[in-house]
Structure 1
Amino acid sequence: MTEQTLAGRRLGELEVGAQGLGCMGMSEFYGTGDDTESIATVHRALELGITLLDTADMYGYGRNEELLGRAIADRRDRVVLASKFGIVRDEADQDKRGVRGDPEYVGQAAEASLRRLGVDHIDLYYQHRVDPEVPIEETVQAMAALVKQGKVRYLGLSEAGAETIRRAHAVHPISAVQTEWSLWSRDIEDEVVPTCRELGIGIVPYSPLGRGFLTGSITSKADLDAGDYRRSGQPRLAEGNFERNLEMVRALRELAERKGVTAGQLALAWVQHRGEDVVPIPGTKRRKYLDENVAAAQLELSEQDIKDIEAAVPADAVAGQRYPEEGMKLLSR
């Protein structure tokens, strides 16, 4: 593939490539990282026409932002840089986690992210999770102040409910809502997607490959590195759910083989076909998988293809929740 293979899409008024790159796994959660390969992956993404690079202050306790900052230092003008704030972690106590959306914290978090990223502004700044103790209007007002100061260009929310999105958008335009959306995570289709479309807000699906499970590459826990959180922190890969979900992936793989593509490419193409306002951010830290993902953005699916894919992975047949119980409490507020 050559440079600029991805056509543009819009998130509100923000123009980006049709697919972005999730950078979280480069620094944490999915086994051991390799900074050299991760930086090469970022550079390859830009060559292929990906412009939206996604990180957050909590990924690797800030180290992911630092890594991404190094990767784009000499090519900042080619990047639509997205980061997130709001999930508070303590590296000294890794079981401790909270959410903050108070105005004082919004400003502090933005300054810290700008410093780690080595930039003077963030293009798309999300609230990572909604703080139930702080009215969304107060949080968005603080985020809007960052726009006025030139430190942020556009605003986003992550895993917010439909009513929260409406209230936030009434304070300041929200350009994008980031949420999990894939063949096996479709709960946003009832309220969140229609609300975003009514308001002209773009949708940024994370984990469009079901945290890698929909690629078919995970056939047992032995396929995951010892430090991979999916071994114990992903209910859909827990004992009793794993095999049930694997049956759907096998069906998806059979469909993919008939089209001459991988199961992951077929699953990602399904997300790409959700609409011109949808920009998925599959995460990877390796160029090999990046190339596969970008190819999926150009895969044409017929109406019958869509029906066959959804029949192979019925939304109501997926076993297990998206997150453990504590994580589920932070969704759709």
Structure 2
Amino acid sequence: MGIGTWAMGGPFFSGEKWVLPKGTPIGYGSAKDSVSIRALHCALECGAKLIDTADAYGAGHCERVIGKAIKGRRDQVFLATKFGNVIDEERKELIGQKWSERYISDACEASLRRLQTDVIDLYQLHISDLPIDAAQGVAETLEKLRGEGKIRSFGWSTDDPERVRSWSAIDGAVVAQFNMNVFQPAPQMLKICDANDLTALIRLPLAMGLLSGKYTPESRLPADDIRSAGPDWQRYFLKSGGANQEWTERLEAIREILTSGGRTLVQGALGWIWAQSERAVPIPGIRNEEQARENLGAMEFGPLSRDQVTEIDALLERS
């Protein structure tokens, strides 16, 4: 199990030439660095090894927070970050996407500086829909960085099986990062990871927080929270800032199973992911020490049983 850090970047927004309209919030609202650092320390003490981030989170700010948090603890961390979104740190904006060799090399150096480290354990392409032909050139650049000792391995953050398959024969490509949770299975992606000996790094394992059970249709998230912005791929929350009732009703239908054996909803949702594949490594996001302890506490319970998974499929009317 790893830890996601998107929420630790604080507010940041789409710039003029990014993929969403200018001014669209892309973060999870405000974050206090001291709280984030304590949360990361707590996660490591509770057994987390992998910290996943991106230069995009907070337009560089999240990497800086992590760099401070792991100073003196670098040997305890498998450090993963991403590239592909051009950032403006001063304006807290994403201002485009690039994937040239020069850009990747410069982005890697910038991430190394912000993270205060000599090497990145896992460097991931953060452009989900980059054409496969262009991505082959990216892989060649990443192999060069690996040869230079600046990264140890690489992967692609994408939900497309064919894109993952296109990198499967490349030595340094060891990970596919993709969305998966109890509401959003990803059997094709898991099948490709199994066939090609890839680790499945699972983002949005808690459906952007909906699976915590804390949000209702009456909830009102802040205006600078991406869950209030309503991008097309974000299905769990409405532009009102409330939870999507369709999904809260589904959560209620499976609540009893997820909370079996003393689990919290969060721990049951993570147990569902482990039940899908031994390759699956969820990276739930955290903001504070309480969330770190709850998430990591899921490891004490382990995966749901096969019968429980089957019952969830029936309740959610999945074949």
Name whichever of 268-277 and 298-307 sits farther off. 298-307
* Cα deviation, residue 290, structure 1: 1.4
Change over 3 Å in CA distance of 1:91–1:44 after alignment to 2: closer
8 Å CA contact 1:183–1:310 kept in 2: the answer is no
Hey, what's the Cα distance between the residues in 2 that align with 1:296 and 1:226?
31
Q: How does 1:77-116 map to 2 (within 5 A)?
A: 77-90=75-88, 97-116=95-114
* Cα deviation, residue 72, structure 1: 0.1
Change over 3 Å in CA distance of 1:46–1:107 after alignment to 2: same
Change over 3 Å in CA distance of 1:315–1:123 after alignment to 2: farther
Hey, what's the Cα distance between the residues in 1 that align with 2:28 and 2:243?
20
Partner of 1:309: 312
CA shift digits 1:16-41 (9 cap, x unpaired): xxx10001111232221021111111
8 Å CA contact 2:204–2:284 kept in 1: the answer is yes
Structure 2 residue runs without a partner (length 5+) = 11-26
Hey, what's the Cα distance between the residues in 1 that align with 2:318 and 2:70?
38
Q: CA RMSD in A?
A: 2.4
Q: How does 1:279-294 map to 2 (within 5 A)?
A: 279-294=281-296
Partner of 1:194: 191
Q: 2:273 corresponds to which letter in structure 1?
A: V
* Cα deviation, residue 150, structure 1: 0.5
Partner of 1:207: 204
Which secondary structure does the structure 2 equivalent of 1:308 belong to?
Answer: helix
* Cα deviation, residue 90, structure 1: 4.4
Partner of 1:124: 122
Hey, what's the Cα distance between the residues in 2 that align with 1:160 and 1:198?
16
Q: 1:306 corresponds to which letter in structure 2?
A: V
* Cα deviation, residue 257, structure 1: 4.5
Q: Percent identity?
A: 34
Hey, what's the Cα distance between the residues in 1 that align with 2:49 and 2:257?
30
* Cα deviation, residue 170, structure 1: 2.9
Q: State the number of aligned residues.
A: 296
8 Å CA contact 1:235–1:241 kept in 2: the answer is no
Change over 3 Å in CA distance of 1:95–1:108 after alignment to 2: closer
Partner of 1:295: 297
Q: 2:5 corresponds to which letter in structure 1?
A: C
8 Å CA contact 1:137–1:171 kept in 2: the answer is no
Q: How does 1:144-155 map to 2 (within 5 A)?
A: 144-155=143-154
Please point out which of 243, 246, 270 is paired with 1:244: 246
Name whichever of 239-248 and 50-59 sits farther off. 239-248
Partner of 1:40: 38
Hey, what's the Cα distance between the residues in 1 that align with 2:243 and 2:90?
32
Partner of 2:15: none
* TM score, norm. by length of structure 2: 0.85
Q: 2:225 corresponds to which letter in structure 1?
A: D
Q: 1:164 corresponds to which letter in structure 2?
A: R
8 Å CA contact 1:21–1:50 kept in 2: the answer is yes
8 Å CA contact 2:120–2:152 kept in 1: the answer is yes
Structure 1 residue runs without a partner (length 5+) = 1-18, 317-333
* Cα deviation, residue 235, structure 1: 3.4
Change over 3 Å in CA distance of 1:112–1:96 after alignment to 2: closer
Which secondary structure does the structure 2 equivalent of 1:56 belong to?
Answer: coil
Partner of 1:178: 177
CA shift digits 1:46-101 (9 cap, x unpaired): 11121100110000000000000000011101110000001234468778653322
Which secondary structure does the structure 1 equivalent of 2:123 belong to?
Answer: strand
1:72 maps onto 2:67 in alignment:
no
Which secondary structure does the structure 1 equivalent of 2:175 belong to?
Answer: strand
Hey, what's the Cα distance between the residues in 1 that align with 2:39 and 2:305?
31
1:260 maps onto 2:268 in alignment:
no
* Cα deviation, residue 116, structure 1: 0.8
Q: 1:184 corresponds to which letter in structure 2?
A: F
CA shift digits 1:196-245 (9 cap, x unpaired): 21111100001100000011111135352342221222333227981111
